[in-house]
Amino acid sequence: MPTQAPDYEPRLRELRSTDFPPYFHEHEGALFHSHGDSPYPLPVHGPEWNRLNVQHSILHQLHPEPQYIGVVRGALAPGPEAKLAIDLCTGTGKWAMEMARAFPQAWFRGIDIVPIATRRPLVNVQFELQDVNATPYRWGPGTVDLIHARDIALAVENYTKILEEVARILRPGGLFVSVEWGMRPAGVSPSTGALVHAPSMAHFFDIVKSNLAARRGLQAFEQNTVRDLILQNQDFSGPVTETIQVPIGSWPADEDMQRFGRAFRAAHRYFAAAITPFLSEAVDPVDLNIAIQAHVHEMMTIDGLVTEYYATYARRI
């Protein structure tokens, strides 16, 4: 690997410890980003990092190579020039760090609005402060080989605009990979084979989706949302979507599904707690508490529940 990255920018500077506090503010005992222009509604403190890391771990175990969805290996294969990958809304930086270990010949950049990724990145990883909505990014046209966007829906005001910027900086043949969670509980009972109904969970997520749309301009992504948006952009070819089901809660007689279900149920419960400060600004506290309790009760008592996540990839023409 060359000693200087292909996107070297001398004007970038490393944050010092004293630079960190202005990026956060405290509200109801939790830390939130202080970036006034970002619509992201969740906390950015330790428990939220744990939730993101749990989700990452579950995906990694359920899907043998979740970070290699589609043709990522080809996009980062060694060539005459070093490959460059960008992780949008990198969060804890787990994806970028694991990919950097798997592809030591490539360079990885993770961007986010707050400095929560590891402060000891690998030599081929760099984390940068950047609002995903603030385009253009610092990279020039046709300079990036792979752009990864996992779980960014709660941070993006205009996904079409993001796709336009992705298309600008991707090389011809470069790869865009999106992974988004659905907000609609589903499943089939492992004991009866019947479709699972979880009206209280559906009601809770309806509250979440309606408030995100009305107050932050955010949309809930369904199975083909990203694919359809890519199809509207003539700079991409062949969007493909894979749907993967992640268990929630109890799965009798299947130890692996039980383990995943317990972990993801805990992640769901924390999401409900994390989104509460945002919802409580507009929803009656009594009604909200009833909705959350009913949501949690169904998670604890209904077998066969799943959450779907949608992995979509497309190439730059």
Confidence (pTM): 0.94
Domains of the chain, first to last: 17-182+218-247+308-316 (3.40.50.150)
- Length of the chain, in residues: 317
DSSP letters spanning 140-163: PTT-EEEEEEES-GGG-S-HHHHH
| Contact between 275 and 41 (Cβ < 8 Å) | yes
Residue 117: name the closest of 86, 96, 101 by CA.
Answer: 96
Q: Which residues pair with 128 in a beta bridge?
A: 111
Residue 8 Ramachandran class (φ > 0 left, ψ -120 to 50 alpha, else beta): beta
Burial of 97 (0-12, 13-18, 19+ CB in 10 A): buried
| SS3 state of residue 29 | coil
User: What's the rounded mean pLDDT across residues 269-287?
Assistant: 95
Residue 86: partners with Cβ closer than 8 Å, 6 or more residues away: 108, 109, 110, 111, 137, 139, 144, 146, 147, 148, 169
Query: Residue 49 CB: number of other CB atoms within 10 A?
Result: 16
pLDDT (tens digit per residue) in 80-113: 899 999 999 999 999 999 999 999 999 999 999 9
Tokens describing residue 47: 């428990």
Q: pLDDT per residue over 188-219, tens digit each? A: 777 677 788 899 999 999 999 999 999 999 98
Lowest mean pLDDT among 6-15, 185-194, 195-204, 264-273: 185-194
Max Cα-Cα span within the chain:
62
Mean pLDDT, residues 297-307 taken together: 90
- Which pLDDT value is given to residue 226? 96
User: What count of Cα atoms within 13 Å lies in the side-chain half-sphere of residue 100?
Assistant: 19
